[in-house]
Chain A
Amino acid sequence: MPSTKRSARHRLIDRIGAIVGPAHVLHEVGDRYVYGYDASVYRGTDILAVAFPGSTSQVSKLMRLAAAEGLPVIARGSGTGINGGALPRAEALVIECSRMNQVLRVDPANRLAVVEPGVINQDLKAHLTTLGYGFTYVPDPGSQVVSTIGGNVGNNAGGMHCLKYGVTANHILGLEVVLPDGEVVTLGGEGGGRPGMDLTGLFVGSEGTLGVVTRITMRILPLPETVVTQLALFPDVAAAAAAVSGIMSAGIVPAALELLDHKMMAMVDRFVHVGYPADAGAALIIEMDGLGEGMDQELRRVAELCHANAALDIKTARNAEEADRLWLSRRAAYGSMARVTPTVYVIDTCVPRNLLAEAIGKVIAICERRGLDVVTVAHAGDGNLHPLIPFDNDNPAEREQALAAHHEIMAMCVALGGSITGEHGVGVEKQEELALMYNPRELAAMFAVKQAVDPGLRCNPDKVFPAEVYAAARAAGKAP
């Protein structure tokens, strides 16, 4: 590296240090290397530095500095994203929000909480429990023990309990956001019926491409009076999926309806020993919640609908320990895979609920054709499936097959009227696949939002949209 460049670089790092404090900047080669990773199967490029701001004002100053210097900026939480959304793609300034980890306010009377973006999802739930309010924040992505609320907001994270309670966007009432030019704006608020576009909802899931979220106002909900967890076993995925449709069409909305296929059951059983029978082809974990009165009726109806769809057996957890054990068998899905393969390719896609079995069948066929194994878990009530492909990311031939299978699965799900991502976002992994869902005019109108908010295209640059969308904007002279 030429010495003039190095000194310019160090001057920049000094200015970053002046904003956040020198102890809160990482810029050595090893630090930069590790920030080139996230939980995806991809790798990022080198970066300028990682800054750890402690306040909104520091984030604003960092954004002003980045704007003045034309620096790309990448906001990062815990780096648990599986699509490469936090991967650096240029000599970027990474803004890591882990120091902004305070729960600022808990207001049960208004059913809301206000937090900083670095709060860990599970820590917020624990905080609410400790305070004894009897309230919880519902969204529970699989990564909840490590992922931050800021990251959850950036990716509009889902989880097991979206079926009844919705994804992250449904729980976010307001945001404080630092825009690319450093301006701090407040979106949304505590009251409903606010005028104009739902910009809060728009920013949720924008994957850091519109600015950095520095404060989140979210809805908290009273814990349900009664929770019952059940396990229903079926001869195959088709029967389990049919039961799911039957339950929902009957007007019953379980808190969760999770599906594991035969291979997934075998895999987790070796790990956590739930005692899944070998002859079952699929399992549904069903959680019902609500008032005590009427729960028995509701459970009977669910059992009838399962039996009407060839259920082999239905068990109800008799106590919290049994319920936890059932849930562990679901939450251990990825962990049990990690024991048997160097890499787990977690695929995230969503189809109309009644097409779930068809989609899973097609996923298996696609993987078989490419010589790949695949096991499947699904948030079945949402039609959100996660085929897991074990492979070796360091084996180029396997990697090529896995990536090709991923693309085929995306195209198949879009053809079924589904989405290329249900809850994990686009990042770098699905940029090109976004064009499977949206034509050039649709992408251009979507990109108009980006251009309105981040005209310099510096926030999480060159992510989410297909490369040709960025190229077209630059060719038209509408972006640097």
Chain B
Amino acid sequence: MTRDSVTHNSMTNSSMTNDSKTRTGDPVAVLQGVLGETRCSGDAATRAMYAVDGCRPQAVAWPRTAEEVGAVLAAANAHGWAVIPWGSGSALAEGDVPTRYDVALMTTDLGELLDEDADNLTVTVAAGMRAAELNRRLRDARLHLPLTLGEGQGTIGGALMADRPLPKRLLHGDLRDLLLGLRVALPDGSLVRYGRKVIKNVAGYDMNKLFLGSRGMLGVVVEATLRVTTLPDQEAWLVAGYASIRGAAQGAAALYGSALLPACLHILLGDAVVAFQGMPGADLPEGRALLVVGFEGRGVTVRRQLADANRLLLAADASAVAELETLPAALAAALDDPRHAAPHPVAALRLSVAPTAVAESVARAVGTLVLPNMSVGVAADYSAGVVRLVLSGEDDDMWERLGRRLAELRRGLADHGGLAMVSAAPTAFKALAPAWGELGGEGRLMQRIKQQFDPLDMLVPGRYVPAYRPQS
């Protein structure tokens, strides 16, 4: 399996290089006919705004309904246009440089809360609804979708397509545990629904799982039914300071192995700690690494856990432990995305490793990737085994060196089943290193499934799985 034909194209800003198929029609004119004149734009400034990896679409379309999303895809299918679906765009930096890109399909105007069911603890929501807006609307009913710690600006559809571990996964699960149903526009424009408002359903394949994390490769999610939680009586946080990432990981391990029921165990390091030192309003402990532990539930349960956890963390060599009633917004934002705490972010990576390998993997990644004149910020979700690194700074010919070093890091992690993905980087770097690396048989299966769903390779072509020869 080679990716070179996909990733190594030298892209220019507006013209696509890999135009092997016949594309017909003017996307702007056709889609204005489908959606109305104001719902599709081809002006230069708009196209530049929705560029992906420097590639500009010919048209940006804002459908308002699921049916209109289907109509855009049907038109694209008929004319051979390549489509990249957009939510807020916050996760679109992950992926290789697109091989073709004609239409930016905006889902942000699909923003309805379609069903709110407090009896069943479910919501059905259009894909373009922003997580923060959804939670604002659920607050009166004391319901909550635990997607982010801070104000989540991303959309529900985007969250499903990226499938990041949820910050309070230890109590509420990940998206694969919360997602009950989907409505999807397939590449030919037809609309399909899978799943139901039931929490147990084994009727045929679990298509929710197939679309989860698929990044728009198979279709455009237009609607989702999700389990929600009830807002807890009380929330509390412990922030423990450590001299090193190893110490912080030991603290996390002590809690992970205990009978306590924390909602999360997050570790911050480097730039992600520096940003908060001396932050007014929050007296955070000293230390190169911070362990952030969240608890929620009834008051008496939270109080007992705070006391026990405090003891366990100090016994596990924490320099100090601070107790907070709420998580400061800036800290929450950094935990959601460490780019928020980086001085001059130039690239972001994500590692997937076993929890007990978190400390060693961070040390290895920092040692391998951080060149002179660069700094790094790290946010790691211990229980998920997910480490996010943000590199800041500049260095001469850094991309070439980083490309080689990433390959070295990937080989090292692979020995223990770990992976390293590039979440964001300039195109100069993307040309040197595929975003997801080598996924072996699992990657080939994804490719085979994509081929069945999208034989013309019109959805996010070239960005995630290796190219196949589209059927003529």
Let me know if A198 and B176 touch, CB within 8 A: yes
Which of B190, B217, B300 has the largest count of A CB atoms less than 10 A from its CB? B300
Pick the contact of A201: B203, B209, B257, B440 (CB < 8 A): B209
Let me know if B419 and A196 touch, CB within 8 A: no
* B:51-87 near A, CB below 8 Å: none
Query: In the complex, what residue of chain B is closest to A157 when comparing beta carbons?
Result: B202
List B contacts of A293 (CB < 8 A). Answer: 300-301, 303-304
Interface presence of B442 (CB below 8 A): yes
In this complex, how many residues of chain A approach chain B with their Cβ under 8 Å: the count is 89
Interface presence of B393 (CB below 8 A): no
Let me know if A162 and B200 touch, CB within 8 A: yes
* B:257-311 near A, CB below 8 Å: 257-261, 297-298, 300-301, 303-305
Pick the contact of A192: B186, B200, B356, B385 (CB < 8 A): B385
Closest Cβ of chain B to A300, distance in Å, is 11
Interface presence of B20 (CB below 8 A): no
* A:238-286 near B, CB below 8 Å: 245, 248-251
Interface presence of B198 (CB below 8 A): yes
Interface presence of A151 (CB below 8 A): no
Let me know if A442 and B193 touch, CB within 8 A: yes
Interface presence of A193 (CB below 8 A): yes
| A109-B253, A191-B353, A191-B384 given; A197·B202 CB < 8 A | no
Cα distance A193–B94 in the bound complex, in angstroms? 13
Let me know if B419 and A191 touch, CB within 8 A: yes
Cα distance A273–B294 in the bound complex, in angstroms? 46
Let me know if A192 and B165 touch, CB within 8 A: yes
Contact indicator per residue, chain B 425-452, by CB within 8 Å of chain A (1) or not (0): 0000000000110011111111011011
Query: In the complex, what residue of chain A is closest to B358 when comparing beta carbons?
Result: A191
| A192-B384, A293-B301, A449-B210 given; A197·B449 CB < 8 A | yes
Interface presence of B410 (CB below 8 A): no
| A191-B385, A202-B209, A448-B452 given; A442·B194 CB < 8 A | yes
Let me know if A383 and B119 touch, CB within 8 A: no
Pick the contact of B209: A194, A198, A291, A419 (CB < 8 A): A198
Contact indicator per residue, chain A 180-220, by CB within 8 Å of chain B (1) or not (0): 00011111111111111111111011100000000000000
Closest Cβ of chain B to A437, distance in Å, is 5
Which of B204, B442, B449 has the largest count of A CB atoms less than 10 A from its CB? B204
Pick the contact of B121: A186, A202, A249, A351 (CB < 8 A): A249
* A:421-474 near B, CB below 8 Å: 421-426, 430, 434, 437-439, 441-443, 445-446, 448-453, 464-465
Closest Cβ of chain B to A354, distance in Å, is 4
Cα distance A422–B201 in the bound complex, in angstroms? 4
Contact indicator per residue, chain B 226-269, by CB within 8 Å of chain A (1) or not (0): 00011110000000000000000000010011111100000000
Let me know if B204 and A464 touch, CB within 8 A: yes
Let me know if B452 and A202 touch, CB within 8 A: no
Interface presence of A225 (CB below 8 A): yes
Let me know if A187 and B210 touch, CB within 8 A: no
Interface presence of A44 (CB below 8 A): no
List B contacts of A453 (CB < 8 A). Answer: 445, 448-449
List B contacts of A21 (CB < 8 A). Answer: none
Which of A201, A417, A464 has the largest count of B CB atoms less than 10 A from its CB? A201
Let me know if B386 and A291 touch, CB within 8 A: no
Interface presence of A290 (CB below 8 A): yes
List A contacts of B204 (CB < 8 A). Answer: 426, 434, 437-438, 443, 446, 464-465
Let me know if A448 and B384 touch, CB within 8 A: no
Contact indicator per residue, chain B 151-175, by CB within 8 Å of chain A (1) or not (0): 0000000000001110001000110
Let me know if B207 and A446 touch, CB within 8 A: yes
Let me know if B119 and A353 touch, CB within 8 A: yes
Let me know if A196 and B199 touch, CB within 8 A: no
Interface presence of B148 (CB below 8 A): no
Cα distance A212–B258 in the bound complex, in angstroms? 36
Let me know if A290 and B301 touch, CB within 8 A: yes
* Of A35-43, A56-64, A165-173, the one touching chain B: A165-173
Let me know if A441 and B192 touch, CB within 8 A: yes
List B contacts of A232 (CB < 8 A). Answer: none
Interface presence of A156 (CB below 8 A): yes
Cα distance A123–B136 in the bound complex, in angstroms? 47
Pick the contact of A423: B120, B200, B206 (CB < 8 A): B200
List B contacts of A183 (CB < 8 A). Answer: 441
Let me know if A197 and B446 touch, CB within 8 A: yes
List A contacts of B258 (CB < 8 A). Answer: 222
Let me know if B209 and A197 touch, CB within 8 A: yes
Interface presence of B465 (CB below 8 A): yes
Let me know if A191 and B301 touch, CB within 8 A: no
Cα distance A359–B118 in the bound complex, in angstroms? 19
Let me know if A194 and B352 touch, CB within 8 A: yes
Query: In the complex, what residue of chain B is closest to A170 when comparing beta carbons?
Result: B177
Query: In the complex, what residue of chain A is closest to B215 when comparing beta carbons?
Result: A196
Which of B203, B350, B421 has the largest count of A CB atoms less than 10 A from its CB? B203
Interface presence of A382 (CB below 8 A): yes
Cα distance A437–B197 in the bound complex, in angstroms? 13
Closest Cβ of chain B to A392, distance in Å, is 28
Closest Cβ of chain A to B235, distance in Å, is 14
Closest 10 CB pairs of A and B: A201-B209, A185-B441, A251-B230, A191-B385, A191-B352, A192-B384, A294-B301, A422-B200, A193-B386, A190-B354
Binding site for A on B (CB under 8 A): 117-122, 142, 163-165, 169, 173-174, 176-177, 186, 190, 192-194, 196-215, 217-218, 229-232, 253, 256-261, 297-298, 300-301, 303-305, 350-357, 381, 383-386, 417-419, 421, 435-436, 439-446, 448-449, 451-453, 464-465
10 A-B contacts, Cβ less than 8 Å apart? Answer: A158-B200, A166-B173, A192-B386, A193-B350, A195-B439, A201-B208, A437-B203, A446-B205, A448-B452, A453-B448
